[in-house]
Amino acid sequence: MKVDQFNYELPKELIAKSPVEPSDSARMLVVKNSIKDYIIKDLPNFLSENDILVFNDTRVIPARLIGFQEKTKIEITLIKEVNQKHWRAFAKPARRVKVGCQIIFSPKFKADILKRNGQEVDLLFNFNREEFFDNLDLHGKMPLPPYIKRSDDYNDSDRENYQTIYAKEPGAIAAPTAGLHFTTDLFDEIQRKKIKYVFTTLHVGAGTFVPVKVEDTDNHVMHSEHYRIDETAVDAIEEARNKGGRVVAVGTTSLRVLESSTDISGKLFPTEGITNLFIVPGYKFKVVDILLTNFHLPRSTLLMLVSAFIGSDKTKLVYSYAIEKKYRFFSYGDACLLYKKE
């Protein structure tokens, strides 16, 4: 399948640089048999008490660090925890990084350079896991997507804005952005209507920032991400399905957890592991009925997933409509509520 068919032209002014306030006042395009305009606050009106919402409770770590290797300024973006103290990261400028040297982020926070492979480096930090995350909170910045430009001394508003209010498990380097729209008021309304919800975990990785560079989807190597869904969540989802309720994935990451945790028949199992599930048109969804998601980048694996979920022709129609109506795109943008094609 040609990647070019997932391309589209987006006016730059439609790329959201910051979220709306309150976040549940963002616009929501509801796509079923027709396309209609709502806001996120309206979401509970589309759900019944038999339905179940599935969230991703990963927590974005402040993975962007500025340090010095001798007199050379080095920018580090952590992308993967290899093991205790050992992390893989993007380095900029990577060509200046010297294996065997040390990058100093503060007088007490340092990392030895173990190896370099292209833009990636392996670093050994001088703290155990708990102390490491304490220092990361002190010295790190949120790893915003490349289309959101900030100066080196940008303020800490992104620490709050680029984190869901229910974030719990640290490990992501990008937010599960559909969840950014949820407020305490919205959760109160969901609970008032007795709509059930559960949490899964998928640590969003570096691949979310990497565009598809091949010309055909058959040649794309999908990035891998760690995920987990426990027995409590599985039991609640299966109970909802048995009662005729619909499974509503809040974000593509929640969808990928669910679709990665089933057998051929669609039965869910408690699972923990690594997923590199690559969803393109033709994929048969086994669990998810409805998807709440933001508007995604051209030529991205997430746009391919949406095309698989509602159909390629409808996706093009939806995105054209959203551009015409000046919806806000990408991480800090608006959302759409998508019903799976029959």
> Based on the domain organization, do 84 and 221 belong to the same domain?
no
Number of domains observed in the structure of the chain: 2
Mean pLDDT (whole number) for 77-105 = 93
- Is 147 domain-assigned? no
Q: Considering the chain, what percentage of its residues have pLDDT values greater than 90?
A: 88
Strands 271-275 and 225-229: antiparallel
**Residue 142 contacts residue 62 (beta carbons within 8 Å):** yes
| CATH number, position 134 | 2.40.10.240
Query: What is the rounded CA–CA span in Å between residue 227 and residue 298?
Result: 25
**Residue 192 contacts residue 49 (beta carbons within 8 Å):** no
pTM over 0.85? The answer is yes
pLDDT single digits (tens) 41-61? 999 999 999 999 999 999 999
Average pLDDT, the chain: 95
> Based on the domain organization, do 73 and 55 belong to the same domain?
no
Of 161, 173, 141, the C-alpha closest to 59 is 173
pLDDT single digits (tens) 287-332? 999 999 999 999 999 999 999 999 999 999 999 999 999 999 999 9
Give residue 207's pLDDT. Answer: 75
- Is 149 domain-assigned? no
> Based on the domain organization, do 206 and 286 belong to the same domain?
yes
Domain membership of residue 39 as a residue range: 3-60+164-339
- Name which residue leads in pLDDT, 158 or 317: 317
Query: What is the rounded CA–CA span in Å between residue 336 and residue 342?
Result: 18
Mean pLDDT (whole number) for 237-244 = 97
| CATH number, position 28 | 3.40.1780.10
Give residue 152's pLDDT. Answer: 62
Q: How far apart are the first and last CA of the chain?
A: 22
Query: What is the rounded CA–CA span in Å between residue 162 and residue 157?
Result: 8
- Is 158 domain-assigned? no
Query: What is the rounded CA–CA span in Å between residue 67 and residue 194?
Result: 49
H helices of 169-270, in order, are 184-192, 231-242, 252-259
Give residue 146's pLDDT. Answer: 84
Q: Is the pLDDT of residue 201 over 80?
A: yes
Q: Is the pLDDT of residue 210 over 80?
A: no
> Based on the domain organization, do 121 and 209 belong to the same domain?
no
- Name which residue leads in pLDDT, 143 or 211: 143
Half-sphere exposure of 207 (CA within 13 A, CB side): 20
Q: Is the pLDDT of residue 153 over 60?
A: no
> Based on the domain organization, do 221 and 305 belong to the same domain?
yes
Q: Considering the chain, what percentage of its residues have pLDDT values greater than 70?
A: 98
